[in-house]
Amino acid sequence: MKKTFGFLLTLLSILIFSQAKSVKKLPVKTTPKTAVKKVSTPKPNPDLVRINEEVPVLIPQKKDDLFGYINQKGKFIIQPQYHIAVFFAEDCNLLNSPNEKIRKFGTKEYATVEKDMISYRINQAGKRVYQYKNSDLGKCTSEYKQQQYQAYILNGFYGIIEPAKFVNAADYRDYQIYPQYQYLHIMEGDDVSNPMIVASHNDKFGVIDVNNKVIIPFEYSNIKRNFSWKLGKMFEVTKDGKNYYYIDSKNKAY
């Protein structure tokens, strides 16, 4: 009996040992790590520096009868190559184009230039991204802003009146600015209650406001009456009657 019991015990030990050897460890599956892509923020262009927040980053500039664009430090960023160059600004004809794909070129991120009688839109790197086509032009829907003030001539001199309040031309108190200038022109802008006014005094041009405060001193032979103030908050001026350049509202030249 003892022998039988010993035999069974030995057989059981062999079975347990053989089962333990047959058990294999399964390899642990490792999930590969997904690489997280870092979104790189584009570095600002050091050439498109803003010194004056009131004026554009890029300013049209003429050199050797051709226009390019300078930055606020006076460095040419887009080399002179165009016969016409205007400020980077919206073009409502393109913004309202029947061709939806080119409406983006009507935003203020682009500027209109002309070379060899062909008009383009360029980006701030100077790349031509669109060539104008008549079929692409839509209708501008911007509302006309009625000017609050207007020029008034009395005895050959120019002044400023507010038509809504002006009653008696013989009463100096009815004038916003009593006629005293050789010439006045109210520049178009967004703020009709405080427009910039190109004025001429003693054969020189300057800029005043509606309170007759001198904004730009009377030292120029001419100041163009164009959209430079509306589009770029700048004035296009000349001292010799030939070479025009831009100044800001503090009379800083660019």
In three-state secondary structure terms, 200 is strand
**Overall pTM surpassing 0.75 (yes/no):** yes
CA-to-CA separations, 42 to 2, 39, 51, 175, in angstroms, rounded:
88, 9, 21, 54
Matching residue, tokens 């399964």: 26
pLDDT tier at 37, thresholds 50, 70, 90 = low
Judge whether 68 and 85 are in contact, CB under 8 Å: yes
Q: Say if residue 118's pLDDT is above 50.
A: yes
CA atoms within 13 A on the CB side of 67: 20
In three-state secondary structure terms, 45 is coil
Q: How many Å separate Cα 133 from the centre of its chain? A: 23
Question: Both tokens of residue 142?
Answer: 């911007």
Q: What is the predicted pLDDT for the residue at 86?
A: 97
Q: Say if residue 4's pLDDT is above 90.
A: no
* DSSP assignment letter at 39: -
Alpha-carbon distance of 7 to 93, in angstroms, equals 104
Total residues found in the chain within this entry: 254
Q: Say if residue 66's pLDDT is above 90.
A: yes
Q: Where are the alpha helices (DSSP H) in the chain?
A: 2-22, 92-95, 228-232
Matching residue, tokens 């870092």: 38
CB count in 10 Å sphere of residue 190: 10
Judge whether 216 and 251 are in contact, CB under 8 Å: yes
Q: What is the predicted pLDDT for the residue at 40?
A: 58
Output the furthest CA–CA distance in the chain (Å, rounded): 147
Q: Say if residue 36's pLDDT is above 70.
A: no
pLDDT tier at 145, thresholds 50, 70, 90 = confident
Q: What average pLDDT does the segment 189-208 reach? A: 96
CB count in 10 Å sphere of residue 31: 5
Work out the percent of the chain whose per-residue pLDDT is above 70.
83
Judge whether 97 and 137 are in contact, CB under 8 Å: yes
Judge whether 197 and 190 are in contact, CB under 8 Å: no
Q: What is the predicted pLDDT for the residue at 27?
A: 53
Alpha-carbon distance of 56 to 48, in angstroms, equals 10
Instruction: Work out the angle at residue 155's Cα, subtended by the Cα atoms of residues 153 and 156, and round it to the nearest 5 degrees.
Output: 65
Judge whether 197 and 186 are in contact, CB under 8 Å: yes
Instruction: Work out the angle at residue 160's Cα, subtended by the Cα atoms of residues 192 and 54, and round it to the nearest 5 degrees.
Output: 40
Alpha-carbon distance of 115 to 85, in angstroms, equals 9
Q: What average pLDDT does the segment 19-44 reach? A: 54
